[in-house]
A and B are shown apart, each in its own frame.
Chain A
């Protein structure tokens, strides 16, 4: 599905540009994408080095396992395949907490560590596991309590009550998360 969507976006994009008679847009966009990906990776690299360093300390002090144990009942429900001693649980928890607090920057390194641990118990290394998909649904649907970025945008735009969208945002987020998890459960029962 990813391959198909990738191809469709690329082809319809190029064809639209040709049809509109502005093919040069395509080359511009290609260069921009190149620059942008390098810029993003540089930013990610800096944040990741910092947080992965801190996480390594936490791991060696046994904190990740302790965290995982603490929230075992809840996480066990979401990730039934994981052994209860898995350090992935601690990273997943830290990723979710960072998202809840609206700290998207810090959430990524925690999330990647979690994926790394999930990959350790994956029997087919190139194929996503159920736990991985569950975890990514929690991330793409952006479970958050404090949409910090939106609030700051609204302040900039001169809103009288910048935080009035918090409740509606949390509601819409939860609907997406629950819907996604249910669909995932359904599809995985059908053996996809």
Chain B
């Protein structure tokens, strides 16, 4: 089953890259000129995102490098241990919404330290896969169109992350323990 899914994942992009230009050409679209016009828009967007991304990364990397985040994880550890959540995954849970590369590094580290097939390894994998980097996505998507008032987007995004985290723990406990 997972082989079929990975194969679909692998061939989806080549298929799209063949299908769209061919279909458009038959429809009379000047494909090359359209492509270049679209690419120019893409470049503009990427440049527009930069200040937002820089601003967010500055705060996140200071928060992380100073050890403030590890401190927060340590403070929370007794509380989560009470519920049976291993303290080892707390840094990952806190990092996941903040930094994609940071979370990925922690997950890789946990998998190597405890084994991919240990409970911690399985739980870490599930946490890593079940949410995305909320701060990054809000920053980039809102930044690209110039939205400054997020309303409740961040609150809802972080609550969804928290729900995913708790659910990941409960389902892993039910399935793997």
A26 shortest CB reach to chain B, Å = 6
In whole angstroms, how far apart are the Cα atoms of A36 and B122 in the complex?
A: 29
Chain B 127-145 per-residue mask, 1 if CB under 8 angstroms from chain A, else 0 = 1111111100110111011
Listed A/B pairs (22) with beta-carbon separation below 8 Å = A1-B150, A9-B59, A13-B64, A13-B68, A33-B61, A34-B54, A34-B58, A44-B46, A48-B46, A51-B42, A56-B37, A57-B21, A136-B141, A137-B157, A142-B129, A146-B8, A146-B9, A147-B128, A158-B115, A179-B160, A183-B160, A187-B156
B113 shortest CB reach to chain A, Å = 10
Which of A10, A56, A150, A177 contacts B129 (CB under 8 A)?
Answer: A150
Does A96 lie at the interface of the complex (its beta carbon under 8 Å from any beta carbon of B)?
no
Q: Is the CB–CB distance between B155 and A1 below 8 Å?
A: yes
**Complex interface: chain B residues within 8 A of A37 (CB):** 50, 53-54, 57
**Complex interface: chain B residues within 8 A of A144 (CB):** 129
Does B95 lie at the interface of the complex (its beta carbon under 8 Å from any beta carbon of A)?
no
**Complex interface: chain A residues within 8 A of B79 (CB):** none
**Complex interface: chain B residues within 8 A of A119 (CB):** 145-147
In whole angstroms, how far apart are the Cα atoms of A101 and B147 in the complex?
A: 28
Does B77 lie at the interface of the complex (its beta carbon under 8 Å from any beta carbon of A)?
no
In whole angstroms, how far apart are the Cα atoms of A52 and B36 in the complex?
A: 9
Which of B68, B121, B140, B148 contacts A108 (CB under 8 A)?
Answer: B140
If A142-B129, A148-B6, A153-B107 touch, does A176 touch B161 (CB 8 Å cutoff)?
yes
Which of A13, A25, A154, A167 contacts B111 (CB under 8 A)?
Answer: A154
In whole angstroms, how far apart are the Cα atoms of A140 and B163 in the complex?
A: 12
Which of B29, B47, B116, B145 contacts A45 (CB under 8 A)?
Answer: B47
Does A77 lie at the interface of the complex (its beta carbon under 8 Å from any beta carbon of B)?
no
Interface of A is mostly: helix
Which of B122, B126, B150 contacts A128 (CB under 8 A)?
Answer: B150
B98 shortest CB reach to chain A, Å = 8
Which of A51, A52, A55, A168 contacts B168 (CB under 8 A)?
Answer: A168
If A157-B108, A172-B168 touch, does A58 touch B9 (CB 8 Å cutoff)?
no
Does A86 lie at the interface of the complex (its beta carbon under 8 Å from any beta carbon of B)?
no
In whole angstroms, how far apart are the Cα atoms of A59 and B30 in the complex?
A: 12
In whole angstroms, how far apart are the Cα atoms of A147 and B127 in the complex?
A: 11
Which A residue sits closest to B173, measured CB to CB? A168
Q: Is the CB–CB distance between B141 and A112 below 8 Å?
A: yes
Which B residue sits closest to A31, measured CB to CB? B61
Chain A 137-169 per-residue mask, 1 if CB under 8 angstroms from chain B, else 0 = 101111011111111011011111111111111
Which of A45, A142, A187 contacts B46 (CB under 8 A)?
Answer: A45
